[in-house]
Amino acid sequence: MTRFALTVEYDGRPFMGWQRQQHGPSVQQALEAAVTAITGEAASVHAAGRTDAGVHALAMRAHVDIAKPIVPFRLMEALNARLRPSPVAVLACEIVADDWHARFSCLGRAYEYRIVNRRAPLTHEAGLAWQVPQPLDEVPMAAAAALLVGRHDFTTFRSAHCQADSPLRTLDRLEVARDGERVTIRAAARSFLHHQVRSMVGCLALVGWGRWSVGDLAAALAAHNRAALGLNAPPDGLFFVAASYPGE
């Protein structure tokens, strides 16, 4: 049995999320079906993160165990052939140690949220960014983001359906940057709660609109109550961009 590490890119719009679902297609299901078609083996593909419906990935890390002899390049090529026309692509494939685990060996995860701040509707990027017509002031958004960095109880920014044992998380990075009409929010942590990034982005947008002050966001964090959340941003603009591992 050989363990292969995969780097996977996908457009989340056609999927119910990463994880296999009973009520719709998932990225995990697409990859497992492709592995089974290639090898004839029942496959279980594990990922660094479980993205929600409509959320995208630029470099999701995953692993799968295969008994059939196959070199990484051939496996990658075969997977990409089998995955067509689904918007899923394997960018890299390598053999890793048997104890390497895409989820449990991961030391950190990074996300990027893309906002297009303009009144005109999106054409090429519809479903790939959050189109916000109201003017956004990125300066107070950045100041509010800085308050969330560090170790906190993120209950306010946690989905009611989150299955994590604790709401405590250490946020290593939360930055807001503007380039013309584009506002990009970058977040990094060892792990995130369910909906945490989207919830933080939604509240930062309220600050950018002037509907919340920086103090209002601080109060929402301190409330430790989901009812204090101002806004949960849509999945469209969220991308899983990186996962880090020992020795990389």
Residue identified by tokens 């995969």 is: 6
The yes-or-no answer on residue 172 being catalytic is no
CA dihedral 137, 143, 146, 152 (to 10 degrees): -100
User: What does DSSP assign to residue 11?
Assistant: -
Which residue type occupies 204? L
Say if CB 193 and CB 154 are below 8 A apart.
yes
- Greatest alpha-carbon pair distance for the chain in Å reads 59
φ/ψ of 176, rounded to 5, equals: -120, 130
State the catalytic residue, choosing from 52, 65, 153, 172.
52
Annotated active-site positions, please? 52
